[in-house]
Amino acid sequence: MGSFSSGLMKTNETREFLDFDYPKRLKMKGLNGLIYEKYSQAITSPSIYQQTISSRIAQLKSFIQQKTLSLYGKNHIAGLVLGMLIGDRSEIPEDAYQMYIDSGLVHLIAVSGGNVVMLTLFISALFFFIPFYLRTGLIILTIIFYGILCGGDSSVVRAVLMGSLSLFALFRGKEIPIRRLLSGVFVIMLLINPYYLVYDVGFLMSFAAVIGTVRSGQRTFQKDKEDLDPTNSPSQSKKLLKKGSFYIRKNYIQASIGASVGVFPVLMFFMEKMNFLSLLGNLLVLPIVPFVMIYGGISLIAYHLTGW
């Protein structure tokens, strides 16, 4: 009887833990709200009456959305540009969004580390004449503001924290080892918002993808170093060929495979499926993503300034 009661208690505890708690989900997303039922309907209708997002940030986001729709029209192209620039997926049709999910390319319309890197490079190039420490501080403030603009998704928070901490380390003339940086950001995010671990699969997928990419890069680092050794390249053409193959392998092939291997257990546990063709899709799409983002951003700025 004792063992039966114990087993029943464990089962109840498990069910209680796995039950979905909508108010906690809202809190995890940074929303303050009230959920009420429309008694005239048989089905409850959750509603949010107040958001904690700043009105100025909301106005800026709305301004970017309106400019994008004016420039590209209300279609999937505008939705893609908004998704890639600020993580706004509101203009992407449901069938198109499902296509991104099924093809394993949904990360293209999510803000992550790639956006932070490109923003850092853009600010560095734009304000190259400013002293190093002032420029670094400006980049950190820009990254934090950009993260607030894009919202509180776990991938955004992770990217902003990793980018900011890496830049802070430069003030002391040091670099943070990637393992220490990842583990530190993981702990910080859970201290800020423990609900990430329970209610946000994207939190696990984001870290799993980075860990897979890092591990994949570390396995071939020594071999790549040997291949790029000038003494191992008898001719200039072979040296250029090796550098080119190293760049493609490191930034596209290795990154795509590593990220896919990293998220594989998370996908199988929560979704019980994975599209292996996404490996090929990423190899074809990833090289053009930076150009699409740069073009989308510059076109919006030019359109706003000139109306052309």
Short-list 150, 186, 151, 148, CA closest to 165: 186
**Residues 189 and 161 sit within 8 Å (Cβ to Cβ):** yes
Percent of the chain whose pLDDT exceeds 70:
72
Cβ neighbours of residue 96 closer than 8 Å, sequence gap 6 or more: 76, 79
**Residues 87 and 150 sit within 8 Å (Cβ to Cβ):** yes
Short-list 160, 57, 51, CA closest to 111: 160
Query: What's residue 222's pLDDT?
Result: 53
Pair (88, 182) in one structural domain: yes
DSSP assignment of 23-61, as one string? HHHHHHTT--------TTSSS---------S-HHHHHHH
Pair (187, 120) in one structural domain: yes
Query: What's residue 144's pLDDT?
Result: 93
Pair (113, 190) in one structural domain: yes
Query: What's residue 226's pLDDT?
Result: 53
Pair (235, 286) in one structural domain: yes
Name the band, by pLDDT with cuts 50, 70 and 90, for residue 217.
Answer: low
Pair (176, 289) in one structural domain: yes
Query: What's residue 34's pLDDT?
Result: 43
Pair (31, 150) in one structural domain: no
Query: What's residue 256's pLDDT?
Result: 77
Pair (11, 82) in one structural domain: no
Q: Give residue-wise pLDDT tens across range 227-241.
A: 555 555 556 666 677
Q: For the residues 60-71, what does the mean pLDDT come to?
A: 90
| Domain interval for residue 290 | 56-306
Q: For the residues 126-131, what does the mean pLDDT come to?
A: 91
Percent of the chain whose pLDDT exceeds 90:
14
**Mean pLDDT rounded to a whole number for the chain:** 76
Name the band, by pLDDT with cuts 50, 70 and 90, for residue 46.
Answer: very low
> Which of 141-155, 156-170, 258-272 has the least mean pLDDT?
258-272
Three-point CA angle 12, 197, 143, nearest 5°: 160
Domain boundary at 33, 52, 71, which?
52
DSSP assignment of 115-157, as one string? HHHHHHHHHHHHTTTS-HHHHHHHHHHHHHHHHHHH-S-HHHH
Pair (18, 36) in one structural domain: yes
Q: For the residues 125-131, what does the mean pLDDT come to?
A: 91
The whole-angstrom separation of Cα 290 and Cα 84 is: 10
Q: Which of 94-108, 151-165, 243-257, 261-275 has the highest mean pLDDT?
A: 151-165
Pair (104, 120) in one structural domain: yes
Pair (25, 67) in one structural domain: no
The whole-angstrom separation of Cα 61 and Cα 88 is: 9
CB pairs under 8 A, 24+ apart, for 38-43? none
Pair (106, 181) in one structural domain: yes
- Between the CA atoms of 49, 110, 69 and 306, what dihedral angle is there, to the nearest 10 degrees? 120
Q: For the residues 103-111, what does the mean pLDDT come to?
A: 79
152 or 237: which leads in pLDDT: 152
Query: What's residue 146's pLDDT?
Result: 92
Start-to-end Cα distance in the chain: 79
Pair (99, 152) in one structural domain: yes
Domain count across the chain:
2
